[in-house]
Amino acid sequence: MSGIRQTGGATDGTIQHMTTSTEPFLDALAADGPAADRGGKMDLYGWLVGSWDLDVRELTSDGTTRRRPGEWHFGWALEGRAIQDVWIVPPRSAGRDAPDASDYYGTTLRVYDPRIDAWRIQWTEPVSQSYLSMVGRRQGDDIVQDGEGPDGTRIRWSFTDITPDSFTWRFEASTDAGATWHERMRFAATRRG
């Protein structure tokens, strides 16, 4: 097993501790920019590449609003045919010794699919065990990602009020097939540096 070494006193062939270098993985994952064979299609999300500070407002189950800071990092991935992000609430600077179920440390992979002229989106968040699939498209000046929650609820994530250095992100859900939408979370994002 290249890059993995056995340490400790295991004699039964099991690996007690693995040490690996993440550098080869990160080099293979990251890209310097969009793939040439995707033309201008990568622009829909390409403007997000970089780091963002978040003001997160979350509607809790009891109807109150919880407000916390967060951080969001976007980068080109998979030879420039995808954009991946890491979404962290609260930010790492706040300390994360024992995250609770309301904390987030997840990633989204956004891949342009020329067959449907839209983006396939996969969200994975291991703290709360949240996994979502969506399809993203431009709608006017906004970017809207539509999908279905694990319980069958229709969901949408929207990027609105987009400028080069700020945007609003909203998470909404509908229990009546999209007739009405209820906001569950809103981020005000500001580009770092």
State residue 16's pLDDT score.
53
Task: Using pLDDT thresholds of 50, 70 and 90, give the confidence band for residue 18.
Answer: low
State residue 4's pLDDT score.
41
What whole-number distance in Å separates Cα of residue 36 and Cα of residue 140? 25
Beta-ladder partners of 77: 30, 82
pTM of the model: 0.85
Short-list 123, 148, 146, 149, CA closest to 135: 146
Q: Which DSSP state fits 140?
A: T
42-191 has which CATH code? 2.40.128.20
What whole-number distance in Å separates Cα of residue 177 and Cα of residue 180? 8
CB under 8 A, 24+ apart: contacts of 117-126 = 117/41, 119/44, 119/45, 119/145, 121/145, 121/147, 125/87
Provide the mean pLDDT of the chain.
88
Mean pLDDT value of segment 137-157: 95
State residue 13's pLDDT score.
56
The alpha helices in the chain, defined as continuous H runs, are 23-29, 43-46
Mean pLDDT value of segment 93-106: 76
Domain locations in the chain as residue ranges: 42-191
